Structure 1
Amino acid sequence: MVDSLDIQIINALQIYPRVSWAQLAGILRVDPSTISRRWATLTNQRQAWTSCSEADAPQLREKMISALVEIRCVPGHREHVITELGRQQAISSVHCTSGARDLYVMTSTDSLLSMDRYVDERIAVIPGIVGTRTHYLRKIFVEGANWRLTALSKEQVKALHDFRPSEPPKQRKPIHRAVVAALEGDVRRTAADMQQELGRSLSMIARDIDAVLAADWVRWRVDFAHTLLGWSTAAALWLDVQPLDLERVVASLRLLNHVRLCASVTGNANLAVFLWLRDLQELDEIENKLTSAFPKVRIKDRWIIPRIAKRAGHILDLDSRHLRFVPVRHHQLFED
């Protein structure tokens, strides 16, 4: 059973994934052996997991095209489609959802043409899919990679930030990329475990790990089985927001810890908001607060999301526990 200490440990690792148990013990005022045992239980029971990846330079990230793709399936074929979509490295997430579609996926490519081809040639051709609809994300205001639990005090959060490495490498060298690749499936992997793979001394590996974790081109995630921590469902709101109100609406949504993704989109709605919920009643409360504060906002559609089958490359079971990791790759989808 996950309790408040487990949630604090996960929250702490979201802030600094390689904090030592001794360092964290001083922050949480708990014995290091207790923290170590709790984390081992969480990972062994597939309730928590970590990953690390190499990201594009900021100027390249701005050029990437991201999209949400609705998918309609032949009745009875949805599970097969989920399996096939989960295998594709260009697809970061797969969600079951309500309404006129059975699933939706998130993906990114290097151009609009590549996205159009990818949906047509790699997604729509999967047996069991009978239709797709693509929504292009114009600007992402909030994304899941930056989402955090809120189980720690401001003082504890600051203490964790103080432990984080702050000297990134001056250049992205092959050894730095090799270190990130070695940490891909577990950002807490020990230097000793990586030594044979990298062929370097423990001190050099430790130094390189600190360097890459301080780099702005490295992303890490510490994630968990959301349903086991009380987030029983998810939902998406498709909003029509007046251009002059957009900035204020987004600022208001940023204050909600329910928000996992918020992005401007193409279509009848111009703002999509994806929420984690403890129950469906929370959706009514959020809608009421939003429309009361911004009377001109129109809710064009709402989707209920009963299951997340893949999140940020991680395949999840029906209880949202971790099954396996499919590294996310967006580049060189088409050589021509």
Structure 2
Amino acid sequence: MAHVYQPDAIDLRLLQALQIDGRAPFSRIAEVLGVSDQTIARRFRRLRNETRLRVLGMADHSRLGRANWIVRLRCTPDAAESLADALARRPDTSYIGLMSGGTEVMCAMKPKSRQDRDELLLDQIPRTRRVTSVDASCVLSHFYGGPLGWLNKIDTLDSAQEAALRPDAPTAAEAPVDLEPLDEAVLELLRHDGRATVTELAAATGQTEAVIKRRVRRLRATGVLYFHVEYDHEPFGHGTEAVLWLKVDPSRLRAVGQTLAGHREVRFAAAVSGRANVVVSVLCRTTEELFAYLADQVGAIEGVQDVEAVPTLREVKALIYTPRR
């Protein structure tokens, strides 16, 4: 009989601790959770092997004055997987999903400049063979997501434990943060491994450890750097993912977004440009739970005029690209 991984309460607490502070030493996590350092190290290795756990350092583009885009690409059925794989290899995409029906690819992209955006949206994608339509939406305002991960909602840690793990809040910034080439290099390294040691970062950049410590500290203090915990959801009982495109009364946009942000099922919610002016990523246990969420919660929100629910067949890229074997 095939081995079936069964995560327990300690695993869940470890995941939430890593979401709160992705670079927290195992010794500090162990102290807060009341277990040994060896237990945390062993659980981390097991989660990495069994659920492909990774802690990723991400750049908050809103702190950099950069716009994010969500693109829906429709194509012929024989082209969807190859298109998704090609987009996933790009460093400026953070999420790629093959959606229900097998003819739609959803892409979240974070271009560093207007020129990069235009090259992709106006030149490269429209010229791609077998792409039948492109619908690009600019993210106007985040309601949930980014530094606020879904694991913040699982409530396995009490308030005292969360406070003991939570780093200092980023300073408020009136103007976008300017990055130097070294900052970009550090962010790129942390994008692949958010727990890379200062020694490893120093060796990869040719800088001293003191310089790297200061750079990482500044990136965190300004809110540019945050951490995302990536892992397979199915072993934890969540096997149904979907993207909801909502048409919302403009006067109710902020209120609807705040309501959605409080829902346990919501991983990401944002106001976007386009006819569907709110996009939501949800995670449920079953299709029946997804139906109940749509009927009982989303359907009851004042101001929601229309909902298109698109189940995710497969995540091709969830922040970091892992080629299919």
Fold match (TM-score > 0.5): yes
Q: Report what 2:237 is aligned to.
A: 230
Q: Match of 2:230, as an amino acid?
A: D
Q: CA deviation at 1:207?
A: 5.3
State whether structure 2 residue 8 is matched by structure 1 residue 6: no
Deviations 1:152-210 (A, max 9, x none): 22111111015x59899x99666555544443321212233344334555566555544
Q: Match of 2:37, as an amino acid?
A: P
Match of 2:282 among 275, 281, 288: 275
Q: Match of 2:90, as an amino acid?
A: Q
Q: Report what 1:221 is aligned to.
A: 228
Following the alignment from structure 1 to structure 2, what is the Cα–Cα distance between the partners of residues 167 and 131? 41
State whether structure 2 residue 257 is matched by structure 1 residue 255: no
Q: Report what 1:126 is aligned to.
A: 128
Q: Match of 2:136, as an amino acid?
A: T
Match of 2:319 among 309, 312, 321: 312
Q: How does 1:159-174 map to 2 (within 5 A)?
A: 159-161=164-166
Match of 2:246 among 199, 216, 239: 239
Quick check: 1:237–1:299 contact (8 Å CA) kept in 2?
Answer: no
Greater shift in the superposed pair: 180-189 or 149-158: 180-189
Q: Match of 2:251, as an amino acid?
A: L
- 3-state SS of paired residue (2:140): strand
Match of 1:21 among 23, 26, 29: 26
Following the alignment from structure 1 to structure 2, what is the Cα–Cα distance between the partners of residues 265 and 184? 25
Following the alignment from structure 2 to structure 1, what is the Cα–Cα distance between the partners of residues 243 and 19? 24
Quick check: 2:80–2:102 contact (8 Å CA) kept in 1?
Answer: no
Q: Match of 2:133, as an amino acid?
A: G
Q: CA deviation at 1:254?
A: 1.3
- 3-state SS of paired residue (2:96): strand
State whether structure 2 residue 98 is matched by structure 1 residue 92: no
Relative to structure 1, is the Cα distance of residues 144 and 98 closer, same or farther in structure 2, using a 3 angstrom cutoff? farther
Q: CA deviation at 1:211?
A: 4.3
Following the alignment from structure 2 to structure 1, what is the Cα–Cα distance between the partners of residues 242 and 184? 36
- Number of corresponding residues: 313
Relative to structure 1, is the Cα distance of residues 17 and 229 closer, same or farther in structure 2, using a 3 angstrom cutoff? same
Greater shift in the superposed pair: 189-198 or 81-90: 189-198
Q: How does 1:175-214 map to 2 (within 5 A)?
A: 177-199=184-206, 202=209, 205-206=212-213, 208-214=215-221
Q: CA deviation at 1:15?
A: 0.7
Deviations 1:47-73 (A, max 9, x none): 211222445573623xx2x33222222
Taking every aligned residue pair, what percent have the same amino acid on both sides? 24
Q: Report what 1:68 is aligned to.
A: 70
Relative to structure 1, is the Cα distance of residues 278 and 212 closer, same or farther in structure 2, using a 3 angstrom cutoff? same
Q: CA deviation at 1:283?
A: 2.0
Match of 2:158 among 153, 177, 182: 153
Quick check: 1:84–1:126 contact (8 Å CA) kept in 2?
Answer: no
- 3-state SS of paired residue (2:192): coil
Quick check: 1:167–1:214 contact (8 Å CA) kept in 2?
Answer: yes
Q: Report what 1:47 is aligned to.
A: 52
Quick check: 1:54–1:177 contact (8 Å CA) kept in 2?
Answer: no
CA RMSD of aligned residues (A): 3.2
Quick check: 2:270–2:279 contact (8 Å CA) kept in 1?
Answer: yes
Q: Match of 1:222, as an amino acid?
A: V
Quick check: 1:308–1:316 contact (8 Å CA) kept in 2?
Answer: no
Following the alignment from structure 2 to structure 1, what is the Cα–Cα distance between the partners of residues 145 and 171? 25
Q: Report what 2:295 is aligned to.
A: 288
Q: Report what 1:265 is aligned to.
A: 272
Quick check: 2:256–2:303 contact (8 Å CA) kept in 1?
Answer: no
Following the alignment from structure 2 to structure 1, what is the Cα–Cα distance between the partners of residues 218 and 196? 15
Relative to structure 1, is the Cα distance of residues 134 and 8 closer, same or farther in structure 2, using a 3 angstrom cutoff? same
Match of 1:80 among 71, 79, 82: 82
Q: Which consecutive unaligned segments of at least 5 residues does structure 2 have? A: none
Deviations 1:270-312 (A, max 9, x none): 2222211111122222223335643552224221112111122
Following the alignment from structure 1 to structure 2, what is the Cα–Cα distance between the partners of residues 39 and 206? 24
Following the alignment from structure 1 to structure 2, what is the Cα–Cα distance between the partners of residues 180 and 211? 12
- 3-state SS of paired residue (2:127): coil
Quick check: 2:77–2:103 contact (8 Å CA) kept in 1?
Answer: no
Q: CA deviation at 1:143?
A: 2.3
Deviations 1:304-336 (A, max 9, x none): 11211112233375xxxxx8xxxxxxxxxxxxx
Quick check: 2:64–2:224 contact (8 Å CA) kept in 1?
Answer: no
